[in-house]
Structure 1
Amino acid sequence: MIGLESAVAERNFRLLYIVRSSLCWTIMFQLESVKWSFLVLLGISIFICSIIYLKARTSYAPTALSPLTCRPFLDNCQALPNTSSYTRWQRMECLDITYFDGPLICYRMQADLHFIMEPLSTEEANYPLAFIITIHKELEMFVRLLRAIYAPQNIYCIHVDVKAPEKFKTSVRRLADCFPNVFLASVGERVTYGGFSRLKADINCMEDLLKSPIKWKKVINLCGQDFPIKSNLELIRYMQEAEWRDINMTPGIKQPEYIQYRTQMQHIEVNGDYVASKGIRKDPPPHNLQIYFGTAYYSLTRAFVEYVLNSSMAQDLLEWSRDTYSPDEHYWVTLNHVKEAPGSNINGGWEGDIRAIKWKDQEGTVHHGCNGRYVRDICIYGTEDIPWIIEKNSMFANKFEITDSLEALDCLENWHRHKVLQQAVVPIQSSWHLAIEVNVSSAITMG
């Protein structure tokens, strides 16, 4: 009887075990099914989100211009060093000025045209500069110049010649509208080479710059045929050296006798084309000022600019200069020799390495000739002039023209950008590169 009860109990236990096991497996199977269903749904959701993200990225993210428009990088540009004999430089920049003819999406344009959109160091962020750029032609040259000197902490006043083509003006305005710190001068001038209008263009921009909320430290003026040699960081450090800290840079000397006709005789601008002498002698300069002669290009302190716009002496000299020849070559340097002027350099001469220029009459002394061609006795640079420019290490080089200097400009531009990025202390974005070093086999494939 006891054996029978034991057998029944064992059978019942086994049945209970089987039922419990079946129930557990059923529950586990259901849970597993739920888990896999959840994972499947999660996977589908991720897939759908990925598709949406990729479509949005394709539609709105910055993309490079088509590499099909790129010119091949010059083999005879020795400015960019190769790390080995198995590499060469591949262009990433494919500037096409017809880009400005269609719809312009600013953040895409900034990436497509390789603008650097953040300060590259704290040192630069803490020392904003102002730039005055006077232009009248060659949109591509202007774009290259602007992106080479552009930094978001700086400010840029662009003066476009009133007589420039309307399409050129529109393109420059559209470009400027894409940057909060780039603007066109509120008052434009019909600029004449050698005329008062050229000086007035700078004055107009200075008035606008002082109204800006950006507290720039110094202002530099440029023309559309300039290109930088120093990086923004190097410009700041150069202008903060002991010789130039809080001092204006206006290279020049007392007016030589052979050039005194410029300020002793009255002149007039003719139809915005040229300046002619009226054959009438002028009155002496106001306030018994000693007239100096020098470069039209400068680096000026903010306090000096305020003095220029508000001082009665500066205003009187400006009015007196209205009928002189090329007044921008005497106005700045004369005021910079006035003791009361902020940052004045009363004992200054030709110091201040603002421009690397090959003058024709300096051939054989300062330089060994122009490898491009001379225009008004100034060299329009060729590619073989680039080593001299780099060695000169001035603030800027002058002159370049797209029609004559394209290969030389390509070389200097890529050398300059390479140097700028090497000096940066922030992560480098891929769109900032104008050229990258690649293996020769890769370059052949990409080409």
Structure 2
Amino acid sequence: MSQLRVTKSGLVVSAVICIFIFLYLRNPTPAEPEEEPVHSEVVECGFYPDELCSALFEGKGAAPQIAKFCKTPHKSEIHAHLHTPGNCSRISRGLHFITRPLSTEEGDFSLAYIITIHKELAMFVQLLRAIYVPQNVYCIHVDEKAPKKYKTAVQTLVNCFENVFISSKREKMAYAGLTRLQADINCMKDLVHSKFQWNYVINLCGQDFPIKTNREIIHYIRSKWNDKNITPGAIQPPHINNRFKDKPPHNLTIYFGSAYYVLTRKFVEFILTDIRAKDMLQWSKDIRSPEQHYWVTLNQLKDAPGATLDAGWEGNVRAIKWKSEEGNVHDECKGRYVQDICVYGPGDLPWLIQSSSLFAYKFEPSTDPLVVTCLERRHRLQVLRQAEVPIEPQWHFHQQSHFNMRLNH
């Protein structure tokens, strides 16, 4: 009997030791940061996070919780391309930029983009390659206060594309100040004087991402807004006007609206030369967030090219979850609110892909990296499906067999 007890005890001890060794080998002591492999994030998200992305788009309950443990799948890869010496062909191919017009229709309709950035290098690259096509033109405004290393990396990328350039005059960006408005105008001057012809200009910031493809954006503009400006907004309430330091110049009726727009080239040329626009820009130096007044107010002038008088809040330019609209326009923010604007979390993906807007704001990959990654991979698949030219292999991201299969349903 005693021998049996000894045998049982020995078996228990052996089992415990085996379990300990198994757990130790499965969960080794974490290496120091400098010893981590370049793609250590693959351990958590897998090489192709498409199965998780599909679950997030479908709104499966456990998916957002799993996504919290995922690091950014593309950040180290993007940084490696921009910080490692190499030629532009390697950068363009390695970062999966589309290098030909994907249809005759798109090739004949050129858009200009103004992108203001100050941080999140990888996010900027993801945004640019999502909207990049060779027939468009892109003016990048980099915050003058941005770190030198950041500016150098952006310049490295920009140098690889003839139709992408950094604005000739850069502002030190300040929240709610004139600099946001001035940065756009600086880029507009560069765009008008560039050798590129374009039909409309769209402004973005580094925390935006497209929901629609280039082809879908063109269709939307042509469907209802052909030769017209899109500046969502409404007339400013009288009690708000009392907060202005001085009366508006030229007895302008001030409107309040979105900082985002889609403007015709003729309207851009108009605001760069018209005395009312110039005087309003000067007046705007003394008001808070003047970009929320400037574009929509000038678009109400009857003689402004492409003016859309009393269009109200029409124009699906940007999908934003405002805290004040929770329960009406949207269910809730699945990420977190920052200054009453939702920073999207993985649980917001179903709402985003159902939106009719062209772009969405606001994303922070440092907080929820998988949100942009999933949107980007889905967006690229849609872009390539709509193409009317042969697809080049480097335009694809890594194999997306599961994701592709799910989206086909």
- TM-score of Structure 1 vs Structure 2, range by shorter chain: 0.7 to 0.9
SS in 2 for 1:130: strand
**Aligned twin of 1:3:** none
For residues 87 and 295 of structure 2, the distance between their equivalents in structure 1, rounded to whole angstroms, comes to 40
Match of 1:132 among 105, 110, 114: 114
Deviations 1:211-263 (A, max 9, x none): 1111100000000000000100011110011x2000000000001246435xx
Q: Which residue of 2 aligns with 1:308?
A: 271
Instruction: Give the match's secondary structure for 1:404.
Output: coil
Structure 1 Cα separation of the partners of residues 373 and 148 of structure 2: 27
Q: In the alignment, which residue of structure 1 is the partner of 2:341? A: 378
Contact 2:50 2:402 in 1 (8 A): no
Letter in 2 for 1:340: D
Instruction: Give the drift of 1:361.
Output: 1.1
Tell me which residue corresponds to 1:112: 94
1:292 is displaced (CA, Å) by 0.1
Matched, 1:347 2:278: no
- For residues 388 and 144 of structure 2, what CA distance do their matches in structure 1 show? 41
When Rg is computed on C-alpha atoms for both structures, the one with the higher figure is: 1
Aligned-partner residue type, residue 302 of structure 2:
K
Q: Is the 8 A contact 1:92 1:436 kept in 2?
A: no
Give the distance between the partners of 2:97 and 2:365, measured in 1 at CA.
20
In 2, the alpha carbon distance for the partners of 1:320 and 1:146 equals: 33
Q: CA deviation at 1:69?
A: 6.7
In structure 2, stretches of 5+ residues that fail to align are 1-37, 59-71, 404-409
Counterpart amino acid of 1:75?
E
1:135-164: CA deviation from partner (whole Å, max 9, x where unpaired): 000100100000000000000000001111
State yes or no: 1:175 paired with 2:154. Answer: no
- Quick one: distance in 2 between partners of 1:219 and 1:228? 15
Match of 2:142 among 151, 160, 164: 160
Which of 329, 340, 346 in structure 1 is aligned with 2:292?
A: 329
- Residue 215 of structure 2 corresponds to 233
* Matching residue's letter, 1:352: G
Whether the 8 Å CA contact 1:303–1:342 is kept in 2: the answer is yes
Q: SS at 1:193's partner residue?
A: coil
Q: Shift of the alpha carbon at 1:376?
A: 0.9
Pick one of 218, 222, 226 that aligns with 1:245: 226
2:57 is the counterpart of 1:76? no
Aligned-residue identity in percent:
53
Residues 351-362 of structure 1: matches in 2 within 5 Å?
Answer: 351-362=314-325
Q: Please give the alpha-carbon distance, in whole angstroms, between the structure 2 residues aligned to 1:216 and 1:398.
A: 25
Contact 2:51 2:402 in 1 (8 A): no
Separation (CA, whole Å) in 2 of partners of 1:237 and 1:248: 15
Separation in 2, partners of 1:79, 1:391: 15
Using the alignment, how far apart are the partners of 2:81 and 2:383 within structure 1?
Answer: 25
Is the contact between residue 189 and residue 272 of structure 2 (CA under 8 Å) also seen in structure 1? Answer: yes
Note the alpha carbon deviations across 1:2-32, whole angstroms, 9 max, x for none.
xxxxxxxxxxxxxxxxxxxxxxxxxxxxxxx
Residue by residue over 1:163-199, the C-alpha shift from the partner in whole angstroms, topping out at 9 and shown as x without a partner, is: 1111111111111011000000000001111101110
| Structure-2 change in CA distance of 1:117 and 1:69 (3 Å) | farther
CA distance in 2, matches of 1:213, 1:229: 29
Quote the Cα distance in structure 1 between the aligned partners of 2:50 and 2:208: 21
TM-score (norm 2): 0.81
**Cα distance in structure 1, aligned partners of 2:392 and 2:343:** 33
Shift of 1:67: 7.4
Contact 1:252 1:292 (C-alpha < 8 Å) held by counterparts = yes
Q: Secondary structure at the match of 2:144?
A: coil
In the alignment, the residues of structure 2 paired with residue 334 and residue 248 of structure 1 have an alpha-carbon distance, to the nearest angstrom, of 12
CA contact (8 A) 2:231 2:296 kept: yes
Residues 116 and 143 in structure 2, CA contact (< 8 A), matched pair in contact too: yes
**Match runs of 1:27-106 below 5 Å:** 71-72=45-46, 73-78=49-54, 95-106=77-88
- In 1, distance between residues paired with 2:199 and 2:122? 29
Q: Is structure 2 residue 214 aligned with structure 1 residue 221?
A: no
**Cα distance in 1 for residues equivalent to 2:276 and 2:216:** 34
Q: State the 1:118 CA deviation.
A: 0.5
Equivalences for 1:206-217 in 2 at 5 Å? 206-217=188-199
The amino acid across from 1:290 in the alignment is T
Q: Cα gap change, 1:104/1:259 in structure 2, threshold over 3 Å: closer, same or farther?
A: farther
One-letter code aligned to 2:174: T
Aligned match of 2:129: 147
How far did residue 436 of structure 1 move? 2.8
CA–CA distance in structure 2, aligned partners of residues 284 and 301 of structure 1: 28
Aligned 8 A contact 2:57 2:349 in 1? no
CA contact (8 A) 2:115 2:141 kept: yes
Name the CA shift for 1:107/1:68 in 2 (closer, same or farther; >3 Å).
farther
Contact 2:57–2:350, Cα closer than 8 Å, also in 1: no
Question: Residues 363-442 of structure 1: matches in 2 within 5 Å?
Answer: 363-438=326-401
Number of positions where the alignment pairs a residue of Structure 1 with one of Structure 2? 348
Residues 67, 114 of structure 1: alpha-carbon distance in 2 compared, 3 angstrom cutoff: farther
Offset, 1:79: 7.5
- Cα gap change, 1:381/1:80 in structure 2, threshold over 3 Å: closer, same or farther? closer
Is the Cα contact below 8 Å between 2:41 and 2:73 reproduced in 1?
no
Amino acid at match of 1:367: H
Indicate conservation of the 8 Å contact 2:143/2:172, yes or no. Answer: yes
Does 2:186 match 1:191? no
Instruction: Report SS of the residue matched to 2:168.
Output: coil
Residue 103 of structure 1 deviates from its aligned partner by: 0.6
Specify whether residues 340 and 79 from structure 1 end up closer, same or farther in structure 2 by C-alpha distance, changes over 3 A only: farther
Write the letter of the residue equivalent to 2:212.
Answer: K
TM-score (norm 1): 0.74
Partner AA of 2:54 in structure 1 = Q
**1:74 Cα deviation from its structure 2 partner:** 4.7
Q: Report SS of the residue matched to 2:301.
A: coil
Shift of 1:100: 1.8
Which runs of 5 or more residues in structure 1 are unaligned?
A: 1-65, 83-90, 266-281, 441-447
